[in-house]
Structure 1
Amino acid sequence: MDILLVLTYVALATVVFKVFKIPLNKWTLPTAGLGGLFLIGAIIVIMNYNHPYSETSREYFASTPIIPAVRGRVVEVNVQANEKVKQGDVLFRIDPAPFQDKVSSLEGRLVAANADQERAQELVRRKVGTQRDLDQAKALVSQLEGELGVARYNLEQCVVRAPTDGWVTQQFLHPGMMAVPMPLRPVMVFIHDEHYQYVGWFRQNSTLRLKPGYEAEVAFDAIPGSVFSAKVKAVLPVMAQGELQAGGHLLSSERETHPGRVPVILEIDDPEFIALYDQVPGGSFGQSAIYSDHFEHLSVIRKVLLRMNAWMNYLFPFH
C-alpha cells in the first residue's frame, strides 16, 4: 500500500509539474520529494493510530477435561471422536460391580439397624431399655443412611455423561483401561458446542481507539482472500503481563519481557462467515482491524491493506 501511495503521489506531482510548467531545479525537486514523504508518512501514522491493526489474532474455544468421580475399570465407551453428542449422553461406563456391592451391603445393614432402632424404642416404651441404647441405634441408622447416599452417588458416577452439547476430540479411552479421579490425568477432552471467541491482540498505543461498538474486520489464514465484518464486543480491562499472585517472590524488572497487548473480543456478524463456521477449526489464526470514528476517510487504506494480507494467505512455503 505504501508503494501505491508513493506511485500515486509521483503521478500527481508529475501532472502538477507539467500542467503548471514548474521548472525542475534544486529547490522544486527536493521540495516535492520531501513534501511527498511528509504527506505519505502523516497519512500512514494517522491511519495506524486511529484504525489499529493486529497481526496476532486468534479464535479461542472452551474445553472441559473429563475426569471420573470414581476409580474403576472402563467397561464401555459410547462416544466416537469428533462426533457431536447432546447434554446427558453417555460418554463411557465404569464397572459398577464393586459400587453395587457396596450399596447392597449398606442397604442390608440399614435394614438391621432400623430393626434394632425399633426394638430399642419398644424397650424404652416398656421402661426396660435405656435412652442411651436408643440414641446409639438412631445414630447408627443416620450414619448408615449417609454412607448409603454416598454409595448410591458413587454408583451413579459409574456412568459418565456429556456436560453440555459438544464433542470429544482425540478420543483415546478404550474398554479395559483404568479410570482414576485425578485432576492431572483426564481421560477425555470435551469441546463445548458454542460460538468461539475471536480475540485480537492490539498494541497498547491504540488503547484510546479500542471501544465496544466500533466496526471491525477479520481475515483468517484458513480462508485466504476473504475478509469478514465484525464489531468490537468488549475490551478486556486487564492483561496477563500485569497479573500478580501471592507467593514468595518480589517484583523484579528482570522478569519483564515485553509490554503485552490489549485483548479485544470481536464478534463476527458476517453471514458469509456464519455459513463457513463449521469449516473453520477452533484456534484458527488471523489478522484483524478496528475502524474508529476518528479520521474515518483513512479507514479505506486500512481496509485495502487488510485485503492485501488476506490475498497473501494464498502464498505459503512449500514442504
Structure 2
Amino acid sequence: MLELLICSLLTIFPDYLYRRYVQGKRFGREITLFSVWFELRWGIVTCAMLTVALITVIFYNHPSTTSATVFFRTVPIIPEVNGRVAEVHVGASQAVAKGDLLFTLDNKTQAAAVEAARRKVAEADAALAVAKADILANEGKIQEAKSSLQQALDELRTKTDLQRRNDGVVAAREIERLENIVAGREAAVASVTAARDADQTRIASLLPAQRASAEAALVQAEVELQKTVVRAGFNGRVEQFTLRVGDVVNPFMRPAGVIIPEEAGRGRLLAGFNQIEAQVMKVGMVAEVTCISKPWVIIPMVVTGVQDFIAAGQVRSGEQLLDAQQVVRPGTILTLLEPLHPGGLDGVTPGSSCVANAYSSNHDVIADKETGTLRRIALHGVDATGVVHAVLLRIQALVLPVQSLVFSGH
C-alpha cells in the first residue's frame, strides 16, 4: 500500500493535474466514476507498472521474512546407566547451577562392586606383607642350610684326609655316605635360595601388578557408582522435570526432563529468507527485527552467517528412492543474525517469533571510480528504497500487537 501511494504521487497525481489545469476537466463532471479509467489511464497504468517494479526492487534488494525465531537449545536430562530413581532433589521447574544434584539412582549394586574392589586392594596389600615375611623366613632357612652344608663338608674333608693317610682307617662306604649328605645339603641350599628369589620376584613385579589391577578395578567401580548421581553440567533452568522416586530411567528411551542453558536464546536469532534472495544475503548486512514478545521495539541486527545449504534438500539414506515431489514446501536460506549492540535481545523471550528485514548496501560499488554514472544513480536508488522497507517494518511493529491481541481470535 505504501509503495502504491508513493507511485501514485509520481504518476496518477501529475496526470490528474494535467487533466484539471491544462484540459480543464474536474471531478464530478468530465471525470466521473465511469470515465476515470479513460481519463487517467496513462497515470493508472504507469502507477501499476511502477508499483510492481518498486516492490520487486525493494523486496529483492532488501529481503524481509516473518520466519525469524530466537532458537535455543535444550539438553535432555539422562543418566549414563539404567536404574530406578532413589532420590529427587529438584522440582519440575527450577533454576540450577553447575554441579547441583538433580537426582540419584539406586546404587546397591555399584556400592557392592566398590566394596569388593576395595577388599581386592586390601588383599593385595596383605599378600605383599606375607611375601616380605616369607623372604625373612627363607633367609633364616638359607643360613641354616648353609650351616648344615658346611658341617657336612668339614666332616667329609676330615674323613677324606684320614683315608688318604691310612687307607684302612675310614671305610669307602663312609666316604660315599658323606658325599651324598653334602650333595643333599647343597640341593637344600639351592632350593631355599630359589624360594627366596621367587618371593623377591613376587614383591618386585607380580604383587605390584596385582595391586595396580585391584586399584584400577576400584576406580572403575567408583566411576560406575558416580554414574548413579546425576548433576547439572552447566548453569540453566530445569523444565518438565516430572521424575519421581521409583521411576525407571533409560538413557536411550526415557529422559527425566530437559535443562535449558542460562545463555540459550540470548545472543542470536535465526531467520529464513526466500530462496530467490540467496544472491543478495551476505555476511555483514545490516538488519532490523521486531519480536512479538517485545512489542513496539525495533532491534538493530547484523548478518553474521548465511548457511550454504537449504534444509529442504537434505537426503537421508533409507529403503526407498528419493522422489522430488516429496519436497512439498520450498526451503529457505537460513541466516544467523546477532544484535548490533550488546544486550540487543534483552527482554526478548527465547523462542519468540519475529519479523526481520535485511538491507543491502552498495556503498563500495558506488565509491568505486570504475562504476559508471548511470549505475551509480541506479544503485543510489536501490539503497534509498530501503527506507520504504524500514517504514513498513515499523508499521508492522505497531500493528503486530493489535493483530495478535484483537484479530487472532484468542
Question: TM tier, shorter chain?
Answer: 0.7 to 0.9
The letter of the residue matching 1:14 is: Y
Please show how residues 49-64 of structure 1 align to structure 2 within 5 Å: 49-64=60-75
The letter of the residue matching 1:68 is: P
Pairwise CA RMSD? 3.1
What do residues 236-279 of structure 1 show as CA deviations (whole Å, max 9, x unaligned)? 112222223444443332333233110001113467854424xx
My pick for the range that moved more, 192-201 or 267-276, is 267-276
What do residues 41-68 of structure 1 show as CA deviations (whole Å, max 9, x unaligned)? 1111100100011121111101111111
Please show how residues 278-317 of structure 1 align to structure 2 within 5 Å: 280=349, 282-294=350-362, 295-313=382-400, 314-315=402-403, 316-317=407-408
Say if 2:100 is the partner of 1:99. no
State the alpha-carbon separation in 2 of the partners of residues 193 and 248 from structure 1.
41
State the alpha-carbon separation in 1 of the partners of residues 104 and 294 from structure 2.
40
The letter of the residue matching 1:144 is: A
Report if the CA contact (8 A) 2:131-2:202 is conserved. Answer: no
Could you say what secondary structure the match of 1:264 adopts? strand
Could you say what secondary structure the match of 2:303 adopts? strand
Report if the CA contact (8 A) 1:224-1:312 is conserved. Answer: no
1:224 deviation in Å?
3.3
Q: Percent identical across equivalent pairs?
A: 27
1:112 is matched with 123
My pick for the range that moved more, 286-295 or 96-105, is 96-105
Report if the CA contact (8 A) 1:216-1:229 is conserved. Answer: yes
What is the total number of aligned residue pairs between the two structures? 315
2:261 is matched with 192
Report if the CA contact (8 A) 2:13-2:43 is conserved. Answer: no
Q: Describe the shift of the 1:183–1:269 C-alpha distance in structure 2 as closer, same or farther (beyond 3 A).
A: farther
My pick for the range that moved more, 214-223 or 139-148, is 139-148
Report if the CA contact (8 A) 1:228-1:270 is conserved. Answer: no
Could you say what secondary structure the match of 1:154 adopts? helix
What do residues 116-174 of structure 1 show as CA deviations (whole Å, max 9, x unaligned)? 35656867761467979997766654443332111101222232211111111112122
2:275 is matched with 204
Gap runs ≥5 in structure 1: none
TM-score calculated relative to the size of structure 2: 0.67
Q: Describe the shift of the 1:128–1:308 C-alpha distance in structure 2 as closer, same or farther (beyond 3 A).
A: closer
The letter of the residue matching 2:262 is: D
1:299 deviation in Å?
0.8
Report if the CA contact (8 A) 1:75-1:175 is conserved. Answer: yes
Could you say what secondary structure the match of 1:164 adopts? coil
Report if the CA contact (8 A) 1:167-1:191 is conserved. Answer: yes
The letter of the residue matching 2:298 is: V
State the alpha-carbon separation in 1 of the partners of residues 206 and 342 from structure 2.
70
Report if the CA contact (8 A) 2:16-2:40 is conserved. Answer: no
State the alpha-carbon separation in 2 of the partners of residues 47 and 38 from structure 1.
14
Structure with bigger strand share is 1
Partner of residue 18 from structure 1, selected from 17, 20, 30: 20
Structure number, greater radius of gyration = 2
Could you say what secondary structure the match of 1:244 adopts? coil
TM-score calculated relative to the size of structure 1: 0.84
1:73 is matched with 84
Please show how residues 121-140 of structure 1 align to structure 2 within 5 Å: 126-127=196-197, 140=210
Say if 2:118 is the partner of 1:47. no
Could you say what secondary structure the match of 1:224 adopts? strand
Gap runs ≥5 in structure 2: 26-30, 136-193, 363-381
Could you say what secondary structure the match of 1:226 adopts? strand
Structure with bigger helix share is 2
Partner of residue 223 from structure 1, selected from 294, 298, 305: 294
Poorly superposed stretches of 4+, deviation over 6 Å: 22-28, 129-136
State the alpha-carbon separation in 2 of the partners of residues 234 and 249 from structure 1.
34
The letter of the residue matching 1:300 is: V
Could you say what secondary structure the match of 2:334 adopts? strand
